[in-house]
Structure 1
């Protein structure tokens, strides 16, 4: 008598269904005028930041290209080198448009890098905490609660005081500040996924615990993780700009938007408004654009927020 083999249902969503879901979510994203405007602004600013060395009129941190006689010139003035400073110059004769492009490179780079690292660490800790449960879960959540009880800026200031200034030190500090948000978010989603049938089926098939976590449970926790990551990029950029404004962030050789704002702060009330105002406008545009896209993603990926 031949043995009857019962086929095991697939544990993951078929590729065709995933493609249809992505197409529908993309259509939902572009259906919002605010999200489209935010995405367009974000793409333009990211393009300017990424290709700043190619399209910026001047390398503002190359001393050979600077002339101290061009300092504090108003917007639209022709510099001695022949370029037009459409946004004026600062106290060192740097073209503000070029300085903002280079500053956005640092701000966006720090924000994206810190969020990418923190989301990976926080997601792994969160899914492990939910899967193991018990005392380990309680310990992890108490650590998360303890960290979230302190202001982010205070923790970052303490860490940078210990580590010192530097681009890598800023990223490390922001990772330490942000991982708890991802750990709590992923843990909540993983607790729901843990009791579903596909996890029970994977255990019955004697699939390794690590594969269950990484291949089956963690991918289903990604939608809320994307929403939190999008919002946290704006938070990380704002926090980095605040640290740089206070003088404990990135070094002078790698200035961000926050440092450019701090540079022009002393001239803000003396009539030379452009030194601090235009970097501030660029920072506001980045943060608002990211938040517009993030709010729409939250509505798309979490049906409870759909109005």
Structure 2
């Protein structure tokens, strides 16, 4: 009798998504940033149920509780773990609600700017000629102008408000996406599948968004991640300067500005804790973005 040898089971094919997740999870720094950012998002989403106080409800705010130290008990019986601001609002509650505004403005502006910039970048690379020249000259002009100064000028014209801040950030951010996507689209523009789609007389819109855009997504995802952190920092700067969100809907930047004048008198917590929350949020996003760049661009791998 001949001995029968067991045939090994075929190896399970690794999909691109599975490979991406395994490479991303291999970095402890990136995974830590993702966990921290996920926790921040969950805190912001469930703020109405987690926060000890609604900082927007004037009926629950007592001006006599203004500038209480961390751990003090207010007149309403609430223990203010992070103290209160000059208006008597619980700092922990204000930070949780402020995170909602900062994340909404940052993610919303980055998404809209990404859609506008990616569309114009692909159009410039695909059309070429005068269209490419006009779009890229506008991009060069936009990128040569100081971002914060441009945003200040736009908000000085539009006025305060969350929607106006998003519009200002979209105007100053779209050029970064346009230049990045155009660089990738110029390479993909000469591929065989684009020429085949043109030979089939497919509509330009279908070629751009069904064939060209998916192959430009890796650099677009990296830029989008970094721009979310950049938009949050810009919004905080604009609010700190008094041209961002209104005082009735404070973001982290406005909370920092509210306590700035009390720093020298020892009331550090009014600005310190919102600043720490802002720092942790931006750093966690940047850690994810840096590792995404390494994973999605094989040339940057060690």
**Class of the TM-score when normalised by the shorter of the 2 chains:** over 0.9
User: What secondary structure sits across from 2:104 in the alignment?
Assistant: helix
Find the partner of 2:190 among 195, 204, 207.
Answer: 195
Q: Deviations over 1:154-213 (max 9, x none)?
A: 100000011111111000000000000000011011000000011111122222222111
Find the partner of 1:78 among 73, 82, 98.
Answer: 73
Structural mapping, 1:1-307, within 5 Å: 20-307=15-302
How many residues are paired up?
A: 291
Q: Deviations over 1:234-281 (max 9, x none)?
A: 000000000000000001111100000000001111111100000000
Q: 1:135 deviation in Å? A: 1.1
Q: Deviations over 1:211-245 (max 9, x none)?
A: 11110011110110000000000000000000000
Gaps of 5+ in 1: 1-15
Q: 1:203 and 1:262 mapped to 2: Cα distance?
A: 55
Q: 1:206 and 1:26 mapped to 2: Cα distance?
A: 37
Q: 2:204 and 2:254 mapped to 1: Cα distance?
A: 47
Q: 2:257 and 2:287 mapped to 1: Cα distance?
A: 27
Q: Which moved more, 1:35-44 or 1:197-206?
A: 197-206
Aligned to 1:4: none
Q: 1:63 deviation in Å? A: 0.7
Q: 1:167 and 1:235 mapped to 2: Cα distance?
A: 16
Q: Which moved more, 1:19-28 or 1:260-269?
A: 19-28
Which aligned segments of 4 or more residues in structure 1 are displaced greater than 6 angstroms? none
Q: 1:95 and 1:165 mapped to 2: Cα distance?
A: 24
Q: 1:148 deviation in Å? A: 0.2
Q: TM-score with structure 2 length normalisation?
A: 0.94
Gaps of 5+ in 2: 1-11
Q: 1:89 and 1:253 mapped to 2: Cα distance?
A: 16
